[in-house]
Amino acid sequence: MSVFRFKKFDVKQANNPLKVGTDAMLLGAFIDATDKKLGLDLGTGTGVLSLMVAQKNTEIQIDAIEINSLASDECSFNFEQSIWSNRLNCCEENYLNLDFQKRYELIFSNPPYHLESIIGEDLDYNRAKHSDRNELSELFRLVNRILSDDGDFWLILPFQLQTYIQKIASENQLYCKQLIQIHAKENKPNSRTIFQFQKKESNLSVSDFYIRNADNSYTEAYIQLTKAFHFVEL
């Protein structure tokens, strides 16, 4: 599908290594952007997360960083076609190499998640889907440096990395405020985890979220969470 339609915007994705999926829909819907003025989308891809956050918050300005040139071009196009184009900016760059001059109140990312060597012939797809431990550590070091003192860092990763990610975060003085454990359905638990990190320690909130019922229909919780974004009623 070259275009993914949302209620208030479209996402062109013909040349993006990764298409819009459930992970992005969940993370974008869960991110709390209340009262945030400056946001940063690391590894933006199609720009879908930035667009979802811009829809939620009518004032936030968002910088979106994408290393892949074709994906960056499509992201810029998606921003320009949206009604929030004056608040969204896409930059083609490796965010780990950027010298950021700002501190952000909201940072979010749907990062590569396979902690293994890049393999296969499709280098763009592999770069989008694979990462390693050093890159994740560098990501958290970067976030610690550019996140404002009262800011939030949101990301989604496989459930199996939950303990490891919390360890990396604590090594970089980032503390988990919220863990949302995502389950495909009751008989398919532990799919993904959505994390919310802050610089200040606080009581950890842990919750479970189910995407589908046993009959494969969407749960009421998923329908209510995403209804502001889905173009078609679920």
Q: Report residue 136's pLDDT band, with 50, 70 and 90 as the boundaries.
A: confident
> What digits encode the pLDDT tens for the residues 150-206?
999 999 999 998 999 999 999 999 999 999 999 999 999 999 999 999 999 999 999
Q: What is the mean pLDDT of the chain?
A: 90
Length of the chain: 234
pLDDT of 124 over the 60 cut: no
Across 98-109, average pLDDT:
96
Residue 81, domain member (yes or no): yes
Contact present, 66 and 75 (Cβ < 8 Å): yes
Residue 133, domain member (yes or no): yes
CATH number at residue 129: 3.40.50.150
- For residue 188, give the DSSP letter: B
Residue 231, domain member (yes or no): no
* Residue 133 vs residue 141, higher pLDDT: 141
User: What pLDDT sits at residue 16?
Assistant: 87
Q: Work out how many domains the chain is built from and give that number.
A: 1
Gap between the Cα atoms of 45 and 53, Å rounded:
15
pLDDT of 1 over the 90 cut: no
Gap between the Cα atoms of 180 and 209, Å rounded:
7
Tokens of 47: 């720009």
Which residue in 72, 67, 74 sits closest to 131, CA to CA? Answer: 67
Contact present, 149 and 199 (Cβ < 8 Å): yes
Residue 162, domain member (yes or no): yes
Phi then psi dihedrals of residue 187, to 5 deg: -90, 5
Structural domain span for residue 192: 3-226
> What digits encode the pLDDT tens for the residues 34-65?
999 999 999 999 999 999 999 999 999 999 99
Residue 74, domain member (yes or no): yes
Contact present, 43 and 84 (Cβ < 8 Å): no
Neighbours of 122 (CB within 10 A): 11
Residue 233, domain member (yes or no): no
Residue 234, domain member (yes or no): no
Contact present, 50 and 89 (Cβ < 8 Å): no
Gap between the Cα atoms of 2 and 66, Å rounded:
19
Pairing of strands 147-158, 192-198: antiparallel
User: What pLDDT sits at residue 122?
Assistant: 43
Residue 52, domain member (yes or no): yes
Question: Tokens 């991110």 appear where?
Answer: 31
